Amino acid sequence: MMKTEDINMESAPRELTQNPLKKIWIPCVNGLPEKHISQRKVCMTNCPTLIVTVGLPARGKTYISKKLTRYLNWIGVPTKEFNVGQYRRECVKIYKSFEFFRPDNEEGLKIRRQCALAALNDVRQYLSVEGGQVAVFDATNTTRERRGTITRFAEQNRFKVFFVESVCEDPTVIAENIVQVKLGSPDYTDCNTEEAVADFMKRIKCYENSYQPLDEVLDRDLSFIKVMDVGRRYLVNRVQDHIQSRIVYYLMNIHITPRSIYLCRHGESDLNVNGRIGGDSGLSARGKEFAKCLGKFIQDQNIKDLKVWTSQMKRTIQTAEALAVPYEQWKALNEIDAGVCEELMYEEIQQHFPLEFALRDQDKYRYRYPKGESYEDLVQRLEPVIMELERQENVLVVCHQAVMRCLLAYFLDKSADELPYLKCPLHTVLKLTPVAYGCKVESVCLNVEAVNTHRDRPENVDISRMAEEALFTVPAHE
């Protein structure tokens, strides 16, 4: 029987120490943080999740897969897409015709089965060994037999499964998808448009007879969302956890209506001119000139039903005021909070907080300013903005350097390491136009001079570095 003192010893609370990078309290042993605990990622699901697409070809499954993967990675959930069509192309180097997909083509069936199993093996490796939290299995998965195989695979490996079915009967949408996406596929590099469309329509026919859509009665035990006619209607069944609810919420907000999103920073501010970060100063003379030019640029673009969003900080509101159009203020769009470093020059941060300056250079995305925020915090704060941007059509966002980096990283699928170093110069407008599986970017400089506020990561990020090395990449200022 266990003694009372043993129980007391085992249940005694551990000592805590503050992680210098993230400023969070963590357990320690002999004054040192527990091994790797500071590097652990937040897990939003109690076991890995396998998202499985369902639907006929040209129904937007890959579009959904890529957007979901991009969104989940952006919010900090390690996610990877596994496109079975890509496995098939690697296996069968030359695509001949739709005949490969005929249900009576034994050789084709065998190859497609092998490709699906190869993809599932890679899913297992990613979720069980490589530390992934979500895998997106992108294929037609049109039969209950195939979905049953995937469900058994998931059960054997203790993964949760969430099916995402895309159903579309609108011939215009299907034809548009074929022309925009499928004709650019490696399968049709040597085909003219008419031949390619005809072949792909026959490929769809190969799946139609055996297609068994998800059914709310027959499949009532499965977790799924059914997206009908590109988001006109939805059917959601048995959402099991937080990550699945996030996926449902996201999918119910995206749309395919053509539109553009315009991102720019406020005009140059007085603190920008002095090389000071943060703060809430007004615009410099050049910043006011940019605001006027921005108003003329937006007017010349003649954008239908444009919405304008700003932060609640003076410099973005002053910039929007010059547009002479209604605008909406978002607190979520405020610049990253630099805490004790607000309104300091980089030289002053190095002088007063050299350790903090070095730690930020070591991991700029996760570093949190004392009494302030990190880029990681900022991404979480900006998630409602991204959701609303996905819901809207044409929007101009007048924001700040760190905020613009986070928004840009979402649309351009940039990693956490790349995000804090994306270049977002003052007095430049970025026009983002969603296309097929990505985003087209046009950069428009409005030709009003401004200081450079971009600081590259210095080569030496060690805490013992000399001040000159730390300040080597600081941009010039007054």
- β-bridge mates for residue 95, sequence order: none
Neighbours of 43 (CB within 10 A): 14
How far apart CA 338 and CA 373 sit, in angstroms, is: 6
3-state secondary structure of 269: strand
Q: What is the dihedral of CA 35, 41, 47, 49, to 10 degrees?
A: -150
Alpha carbon of 394 to those of 72, 207, 305, 367, 434: distances in Å?
A: 24, 37, 7, 33, 11
Maximum pairwise Cα distance, the chain: 83
| Alpha-carbon span 216 to 244, nearest angstrom | 18
Residue 148 neighbours by CB under 8 Å, 6+ apart:
none
Residue 37 Cα to chain centre, angstroms: 25
Catalytic residue among 266, 337, 376, 399: 266
CB neighbour list of residue 7: distance below 8 Å, 6 or more residues apart? none
Please pick, among 335, 337, 361, 373, the residue that the annotation labels catalytic.
Answer: 335
Query: Edge-to-edge strand order for the sheet containing 49-54?
Result: 79-83, 134-138, 49-54, 160-167, 224-228, 233-237
Distance from the Cα of residue 46 to its chain's centroid: 21
Q: How far apart are CA 421 and CA 408, in angstroms?
A: 11
Give one DSSP letter per residue of 210-247, joined into a string: T-----TTTTTTS-EEEEETTTTEEEEE---SHHHHHH
Residue 280 has what DSSP assignment? -
Residue of 81, 115, 168, 376 with catalytic role: 168
Please say whether the beta carbons of 152 and 144 come within 8 A: no
Amino acid at 14: R
Distance CA 199, CA 191 (A): 10
Query: What is the DSSP-derived secondary structure letter of residue 98?
Result: G
| Cα–Cα distance, 361 to 89 (Å, whole number) | 42
Instruction: Point out the catalytic residue in the list 138, 268, 337, 363.
Output: 138
Alpha-carbon distances, residue 204 vs 93, 199, 419 (angstroms): 21, 9, 40
Q: Residue 49 in 3-state DSSP? A: strand
Is 427 catalytic? The answer is no
Query: Is the separation of the CB atoms in 250 and 71 below 8 Å?
Result: yes
Residue 27: half-sphere exposure toward Cβ, Cα within 13 Å: 9
| 138 flagged as catalytic | yes
- Residues serving a catalytic function are 138, 168, 266, 335
